[in-house]
A and B are shown apart, each in its own frame.
Chain A
């Protein structure tokens, strides 16, 4: 059997990553295993293998993490990485976790919007106090109007 990575040499090693009821097995030649740092003595996680097909040139525009760095550390830099690396991450997660889709508790979008409004209300209330303390009644009245609108919405 030929190596799953270089497709040239004969595979002499096989790696099985088991996830729940499913497992993925890859057959690899010794050189590729060495290059990927996958020989048992290296102690590197075998899950790195699962990134084999990914586009290594991607860079996260929020935190600057490159896909190459991610493949090395297997740690995301920010929530934006999940957007930028999206497609490759989806298949990676499917192999790693057995499923690419969240089934647990959900944070509804509506909730998030309400939450952001609530935060804004807290900020406005602080500003209102400040304005009153400074006797800037015109500003205070504007803030009050804005507050009333937001509070109605929540």
Chain B
């Protein structure tokens, strides 16, 4: 597979399958690992990083999950392509020395020489931590039998950042919580969630803003707790948030049903008719329609389209699809055209 083929292939985690898909967009586990005997990427020289990259790529491709995949270096990508892979959740930094290996369907990927020598991640659609867990550790096992990890019995897997040391494991879900936002219960909930040792971020991970009522919830603690416990506790926390969101949606519909319905159908109308749409506007309007699907007002088949649009109307995707660099106004026009075209098909 070639880099340029990425735009034409949809990541499998975008399909609307998976549990609680009306609230949970995707589930992810990532592991941070480093090699023994090499400085961490922030301090290593280029030659050392190249050696690490060769070793890790060699080991990663031994896993069948990476067969027929794709490998690229951020160093060789344009600014637009960097943004493009970031929108696809394959990359979270702007660092230019990172190697990325992606499995078919973008279910698994490995970042080499980002903050740590190795970051492997596995994604699935909906609430699906249990499906992701065995895959990520199968890959980890293959890597650990082909590479020597930096490990200490007392601190576990050694990582560049002390917030990852121990298991190096981060479990997260991307949640859509419009009910809790509309009723303004979200801040209290987030405070509670954080006080129990979890962190909450925006759509694109660390440092990103909360947009379109999307929240990424993940475990904060990686040391003094084993991998299974991290997965179980995080899933429990997420299920709790899902239950609260469902309860709040029901309450909203009981107490202000017409108002909510009006907001949903107006948003639907704008998406189907607008001639210019900024990304922010699209994300917010599609959040309302997504809520409409969740409460059964709008047909379920729209969910897959909204997931697809969420990715493909992001600025870099839009420009890659059209094959040209566009200014903000042109993007807004093309975004509106594209949204109308996709929603017309239903």
Q: Which residues of A contact B (CB under 8 A)?
A: 18-21, 23, 47, 62-65, 74-79, 82, 89-90, 92-93, 96-107, 109, 111-112, 115-116, 119
Contacts and interface: CB of A to CB of B under 8 A. Distances in A.
A105 B167 contact: yes
Contact of A104 (B40, B161, B194, B227): B227
Given A18-B194, A97-B221, A99-B223, A112 B148 contact: yes
Interface string B27-55: 00000001010111011000000000000
Contact of B224 (A63, A65, A102): A102
Given A18-B195, A18-B197, A102 B154 contact: yes
A78 B42 CA distance: 9
A119 B59 CA distance: 13
Contacts of A115: 145, 148
B197 A99 contact: no
7 contacts: A97-B221, A109-B153, A112-B148, A115-B145, A115-B148, A116-B148, A119-B148
A104 B230 CA distance: 10
Interface in B214-241: 220-227
A25 to B, nearest CB: 13
A141 B36 CA distance: 32
Interface residues of B, number: 42
Given A74-B161, A98-B197, A62 B153 contact: no
A98 to B, nearest CB: 6
A103 B224 contact: yes
Interface of B: 34, 36, 38-40, 42-43, 115, 144-145, 148-163, 165-167, 169, 194-197, 220-227
A22 B35 CA distance: 32
- Among A103, A111, A119, chain B packs the most CB atoms within 10 A around the CB of A103
Contacts of A111: 144
A82 B226 CA distance: 20
A89 B224 contact: no
- Residue in A19, A23, A64, A107 with the greatest tally of chain B CB atoms within 10 Å: A107
Contacts of A20: 196-197, 221
Contacts of A93: 155, 162, 165, 223
A62 B224 contact: no
A89 B161 CA distance: 12
Contacts of A82: 152, 155, 158
Nearest to B115: A75
Contacts of A62: 39
A104 B148 contact: no
Given A63-B39, A78-B43, A107-B151, 7 more contacts: A77-B39, A78-B38, A92-B162, A101-B224, A103-B225, A104-B169, A115-B145
Contacts of B144: 107, 111
Contacts of A104: 156-157, 166-167, 169, 225-227
A106 to B, nearest CB: 7
A69 B309 CA distance: 43
Contacts of A47: 163
